[in-house]
Every structure is written in C-alpha cells, then in structure tokens.
Amino acid sequence: MKKMNIKKSISVITAAALILGSFLLPAASTTALAKGGSSVQKDDTNVKNDDLDDVEVFGNYTFKLPDSWEDCVSYEDDESDAIYYFIEEEDDIPMFMVLKESLLDYVSSSELKTLTEEDEYEVLDYFREGVTEGEDFENLTESTETKIAGNPAITFSFTGEIYGDNDVRISVFIDKEDVDVYCLMLMEEEDAKHSYFKDMEKIEKSFCKIGEEPEIPEDLAVSVYEALEEVTSYSARSVFEIEMEVTEYGESYDMKLLMDHELEATLGKKASCHVTMNESIVSEALGLSDGDYTMTNEICIINSGKKTTAYYREDGEDWEIEDLDDDDSDLAEVSEYLDHLYSFEFFELLADGSIDYEVEPEIVEEDEGEFYVMDMDLSGDDLKLAIDTQFFLAGAYISEEADYEDVTSHVTIYIDADTFLPSTVVIDMPEVGDQIVYSMMGIDDTEVTTCTIVTEYIGFDEFDKIEEPDV
C-alpha cells in the first residue's frame, strides 16, 4: 500500500484553518456563499429533484444538517473538492467541512482489486497517522471503527492549535465502489460552552448514497437513547383503550374504556410536569356516546429548585395546592409515579441490550416523515416497565393490576429516521385486559377484544419550563 499522502493529509487540517483567513477567500473562485441554505450543486442522478429539497449533497452522497445549522453559511471549493459550513459567521468557527479525495492516493490500482474491509480500516488508520503524526495535539483519542452509509469508517478527536485553540472531531470513510475517501471534520473552540460534536454524529448517521435507501444503524437503540439523553423537555400523548363485551346478570353489552393522557415535562434539576387525564366510557347498548361519561383530572408538579409544589384539580373544580417538603411522605409517593417521566429507563434498557428487539428491514414512509420500526415481544418485568413508562402517571397504577409473568405482549416503536427520537410506541396486550377491567371496575365476566396503549411523542425541546396553573 502507498504511504499516506502527507500533503493531502495535512490539508485536511490546515485547509479549514486557511479558508478561515479572509485574505485567502478568493471571491472569484468560490462556488457560492449562501445564508440559510446549501451552496452545493445537486447531482440528481437517479433521484427526483423533490427528494433533494431538504438535504445537502456532496459527491455521491446526501446528508442532513441538524436544526442548529439551519442558518449556517456554506462555501464550496471545487478546486480542493470540499464543502465548508460556518454556523455563526463566514470564516469563523464552529465550522464543519466535508472533503473528498481519491482512494488511489492510498492504494495502487492492483491493490484496489483485492482490497478487503480489513485493508480499508488499515488505510483509514494511515489517514489518521498522516493527520496526527508529529503534531503536538492534546486529548488525542484512539480510532473508533464504525460505519458511515454502510462504508468502513473511523472517528477520532483531539485538541490542537489550528485556528486558535480548537477541539476537532474527524470521521473518515472509504467508498470502494466509487474509489473515494471522504473526510468529515468539525472544529470549534476548545472547551466551548456549547459543543457541536453531537451534531456531527447526527450528520454522520444521516449520510446516504444517492439513489440508495438509508442504512439502518446496527445499534439503533443506542442511537435512540443517545438522542434522548440530549432532550431537555418533551410533550406526548398516551391513550389506553379497552374494548370488550361485558356480561352481567345474564345480559351482555358492549363497552369501551378510554384513558387519554397528555403530558408536558421538563427534565434536569428542575424537572416538572403537567399531565391532563381524560377518561371516558362509551357503550352503544347502554346509550353512552362519546362525551356522555367523561371525567378530566389534571396534575401539575412544579420544581423551582428550592421547593416542589403539587397542583391538582378534578373535573374542572378549583385547583388544590400542596407544598411538598424533601422529607414529606407525599413527595416520596409522588416521586414513585413521576420519576419515570423524567428519565427514559425503558429506552436505556433497549440500548444496553437488556431487552431484545428486531428492526424491520425497510424504512417506513408516512406523511410526516420516515421511520425505523423496532419490534419486540415482552413479558414479566420488561412488559411492566414498558407500561410504567409509556402511560405516564397511570402506567404505574395499571401495571400493578395484572400478572405479567405468563403473558407476552407485542410492542412496536417507530423511530424518526432524521432525529433518532421515538415517535410512537404501541403496546398490544389483550391477554391482560380482563385482569385490568376487574381491578378497575370490579367486572369479572368480560371478553376483551382490544387492549392497547398508544403513546405519541409530539415534540422535543419546544419549551423550557412548565407554567404554574392560574389559581
């Protein structure tokens, strides 16, 4: 194999710094400098133009920029085959770039024919060596082997003096089919108050070859949990529905029980929440239409950092208020029901392998976007945890009303393919419906046809506090 092209490898680091110097920005040679959009000329080979409206295109790949880069300035340099994005001002950091060069700079034509994946990772290590050898970089990490758009890739980071003191993250992947090497680099101030390294991870995961379907990550649950760890607030709606035929005193009639809960929650040291619980019973035989028998309760927990206050009201009545002290048994009881609202324990167990799941082989397209689909069959404590965490306040109550040891329920989770955040969770559990009905309503002769919990995650990070009720 050829030794690393030192000139080109150094350019990976220095080109970004040089391009930041305004005296090196040749106005005549720039392809574009644009605010709020990509400057890249889109190659629509095998792709409809409409399919490229919300993506960046470079070389033979598309990728998506996170929302925080929506108004960035972009600059394409055709001579060096690179694209640069400046998040705040042109010629300044934070900066993200993508560079493309020929794989034949690293291997000969004959070597290319027999190049294995192991060889490709060796080439990538040459790349890292060429970038870092002889440099006085601090915090230099080992290479992490990964895949980008299904291609062998490595990622590493370091701190160095490039454009001032900078933290740098670099990812490199090889496209053997097109005989290309792609380098992605993010550079920001050392120990920046807000780091964009997580944004670069999202960009890497969004890479897709033009004309091909996006790769489904091998570690999808890990990506989901990592995305959830960045969340500071969220809103969701969860509906528990039971449809059944009830027999009492020799007479049978239909009945549908609906528990429709809406949640807003902030996370962190001042974790707070507002839950609205709508409950209704519908029965054609009993003459109960939707809305005839409905009750609405609300609970709001406000944590100011100094004290925790609980607000509660039943079916439109006046709010009841209670200050909860740290040693108050009421606070402990409330925490038992609320703690799972402020963490994502179920998704954490999926990520660490404690709960098995399968991913459907194709991305599902809906009107509102594209989704990965995770399927699993749960029983026992795993099923109980899913119910606890996906039905908000009432989940802990419902999960205690049935024996789940000998019951298996199917759970389906839809994951947003852009953000890796959960969109919808469906728990189908008809086998425990009769137990829940008996515990809640005292009815022991039922034939349950439907028993589901459907949770829709409506939005993430759209607000930063829960408003106190107007009392």
Does some domain include residue 316? Answer: yes
CA-closest candidate to residue 188, choices 174, 200, 206? 200
Average pLDDT over all residues of the chain: 81
Indicate the burial class of 62 (C-beta count within 10 angstroms; 0-12, 13-18, 19 or more). Answer: buried
Q: Are residues 252 and 156 in the same domain?
A: no
Does some domain include residue 223? Answer: no
pLDDT digits (tens, 9 = 90+) for 110-127: 999 999 999 999 999 988
Does some domain include residue 284? Answer: yes
Q: Are residues 42 and 126 in the same domain?
A: yes
| pLDDT score of 330 more than 70 | no
DSSP at 283: B
Measure CA 63 to chain center: 16
Cα distance between residue 68 and residue 90, in whole Å: 16
Q: Are residues 206 and 235 in the same domain?
A: no
DSSP letters of 170-210? EEEEEETTTTEEEEEEEEEETT-SS--HHHHHHHHHH-EET
Predicted local distance difference test score (pLDDT) of residue 282: 83
Instruction: Determine the 3-state secondary structure of 319 from DSSP.
Output: coil
Q: Are residues 173 and 234 in the same domain?
A: no
Domain with 175 in it: 6-215
Contact call for residues 394 and 388 (beta carbons, < 8 A): no
Q: Are residues 71 and 203 in the same domain?
A: yes
Predicted local distance difference test score (pLDDT) of residue 41: 37
pLDDT digits (tens, 9 = 90+) for 398-414: 656 667 788 889 999 99
Predicted local distance difference test score (pLDDT) of residue 6: 30
Mean pLDDT of the region 220-225? 92
Mean pLDDT of the region 364-388? 88
DSSP letters of 389-454? HHSHHHHHHHHTSS--TT--EEEEEEEETTT--EEEEEEE-GGGHHHHHHHHH----EEEEEEEEE
Predicted local distance difference test score (pLDDT) of residue 104: 93
Provide the domain count of the chain: 2
Q: Are residues 302 and 421 in the same domain?
A: yes
Predicted local distance difference test score (pLDDT) of residue 13: 42
Does some domain include residue 28? Answer: yes
Confidence band of 50 (pLDDT split at 50, 70, 90): very low
Measured CA angle at 198 (ends 197, 199), to 5 deg: 90
pLDDT digits (tens, 9 = 90+) for 73-111: 888 887 778 999 998 877 788 999 999 999 998 899 999
Q: Locate 86 and state its tokens.
A: 């400046």
Confidence band of 387 (pLDDT split at 50, 70, 90): confident
As a whole-number percent, the residues of the chain with pLDDT over 70 amount to 82
Could you say which of 194, 215, 236 is where a domain stops? Answer: 215
Contact call for residues 146 and 170 (beta carbons, < 8 A): no
CA-closest candidate to residue 371, choices 415, 435, 434? 415
Count of CB atoms within 10 A of residue 393's CB?
19
Q: Are residues 51 and 86 in the same domain?
A: yes
| pLDDT score of 60 more than 90 | yes
Backbone angles phi, psi at 254, to 5 degrees: -85, 155
Q: Are residues 198 and 249 in the same domain?
A: no
Q: Are residues 181 and 253 in the same domain?
A: no
pLDDT digits (tens, 9 = 90+) for 187-202: 999 998 888 998 898 8
Residue for token pair 């506090």: 465
Lowest mean pLDDT among 25-29, 389-393, 429-433: 25-29
Predicted local distance difference test score (pLDDT) of residue 388: 81
| pLDDT score of 424 more than 70 | yes
Strands (E), 20-128: 33-35, 56-58, 61-63, 73-77, 82-86, 95-102
Confidence band of 290 (pLDDT split at 50, 70, 90): confident
Contact call for residues 448 and 246 (beta carbons, < 8 A): no
Mean pLDDT of the region 265-286? 87
What is this structure's pTM? Answer: 0.68
Predicted local distance difference test score (pLDDT) of residue 14: 41
Q: Are residues 387 and 258 in the same domain?
A: yes
Does some domain include residue 20? Answer: yes
Contact call for residues 228 and 347 (beta carbons, < 8 A): yes
Confidence band of 279 (pLDDT split at 50, 70, 90): confident
Cα distance between residue 196 and residue 186, in whole Å: 8
Could you say which of 167, 184, 215 is where a domain stops? Answer: 215
Q: Are residues 204 and 236 in the same domain?
A: no
Contact call for residues 433 and 419 (beta carbons, < 8 A): no
Q: Are residues 158 and 292 in the same domain?
A: no
Instruction: Check which CATH number belongs to the domain holding 51 and give it.
Output: 3.40.1000.10
Mean pLDDT of the region 151-168? 91
Could you say which of 191, 215, 239 is where a domain stops? Answer: 215
Instruction: Check which CATH number belongs to the domain holding 376 and give it.
Output: 2.50.20
Does some domain include residue 358? Answer: yes
Does some domain include residue 401? Answer: yes
Does some domain include residue 469? Answer: no
Lowest mean pLDDT among 37-41, 54-58, 167-171, 270-274: 37-41
